[in-house]
Amino acid sequence: MKIDTIQSFIPPTRILMGPGPSDVYPRVLQAIARPTIGHLDPAFMTMMDEIKVLLQYAFQTKNALTFPISAPGSAGMETCFVNLVEPNDKVIICQNGIFGERMKENVERCGGIAVMVEDKWGAAIDPNKLEETIKANQDAKIVAFVHAETSTGVLSDAQTLCHIAQQNNCLTIVDAVTSLAGSPLKVDEWGIDAVYSGTQKCLSCVPGLSPVSFSERAVNKIKRRQSKVQSWFFDLNLLMDYWDKRVYHHTAPINALYGLHEALLILKEVGLEKSWSLHARNYRAFHAGIEAMGLSFNVKTSERLPQLSSINVLEGINGEAARQHLLLEHNIEIGGGLGSLAGSIWRIGLMGYGSNMKNVLTCLGAFEEVLQDMGAKINQ
């Protein structure tokens, strides 16, 4: 490529129905185009306060330490682990997909000891296994798990898992990247101590921010650390002062925060419970269409994630080729499997602004056409 040939980038218009990012609300796109102001401007600080209140609503919490990390969901994950895990801390990790593996990696990089509770990829976390593991590791300090496993389309019972952890004096770290605003998530009621999410899923904001929230118990542990947090940027002892006292820490992604503010405002206008029910309703319609074609889901009905479905690739069909046909011929983006599920499932998202009946019908029609053209035997 010659530099003289490069021009302004104009992206194609897609329907984003993969595991993320999701289609962005038009109001959010308008918001991020507003004039940039300084990150210490009094007007910007007022907006920071409003984002905190709106995030507390979204997370259903009164936690004072609730704010967006200036980086994507994976950074939210790292923030939770580097602050709460000290060298030799034992952390029980419930794994039923690829993001449990990343939790283990974070624990080990912090010098902690990861104890794994493994379930089948495509199944919810078994609370009995967690209980047995805690009893066998009574010196464990933290339980970590993924609420909505994006790699498999599984929703686990976060309330029960947190209750088990509390009964055994363990703090909890919960990945809510795909569940926030899409499935019931009640941080205070369920006793979640540290939770992180992303802006690009059911909030339908642009990628690049990670909402987090920490309980008073978690904050007390962070303040009593015996060793420095290994990350300067994600050290909550510094970020607390940034968000509470406005002590300079870094230049915030100002326009991206405009977008998050607008996305959270839309969530408040729609209503959190209505958002949950809309995701469930559109999933049911999509589910009916998929099964009518004779396709099957990789997850049993009671454990399916409404905003992200994993569908088994038909025998004799190249799953990646089908994805490319959908993208290039119908401008619809869906995802493929990860890890051990690579090539065996399609992951189709109905998240936030993209969770609507038009997308359901458009995707079903295009999917049927592509599979027929590829010679698949599906119901008419």
What is the rounded distance in angstroms from the CA atom of residue 171 to the CA atom of residue 133?
Answer: 15
- Mean pLDDT confidence for 256-280: 98
- In this model, does residue 287 exceed pLDDT 90? yes
Which are the contacts of 16, defined by CB distance < 8 A and separation ≥ 6?
22, 23, 333, 349, 354
| Residue appearing with tokens 């590791």 | 137
- Mean pLDDT confidence for 154-174: 98
From the CA atom positions of the chain, what is the Rg in Å? 21
Other Cβ atoms closer than 10 A to 169? 10
Question: Residue 247: what pLDDT?
Answer: 84
In tens, the pLDDT along 193-215 reads: 999 999 999 999 999 999 999 99
Q: Which two tokens stand for residue 256?
A: 């991206």
Tell me phi and psi for residue 36, to 5 degrees.
Answer: -75, 135
- In this model, does residue 327 exceed pLDDT 90? yes
- In this model, does residue 12 exceed pLDDT 80? yes
pTM, entire model:
0.97
Question: Residue 380: what pLDDT?
Answer: 66
- Mean pLDDT confidence for 167-179: 98
Q: Which two tokens stand for residue 23?
A: 């289609």
- Mean pLDDT confidence for 343-357: 97
- The domains of the chain, with CATH numbers, are 26-268 (3.40.640.10), 271-373 (3.90.1150.10)
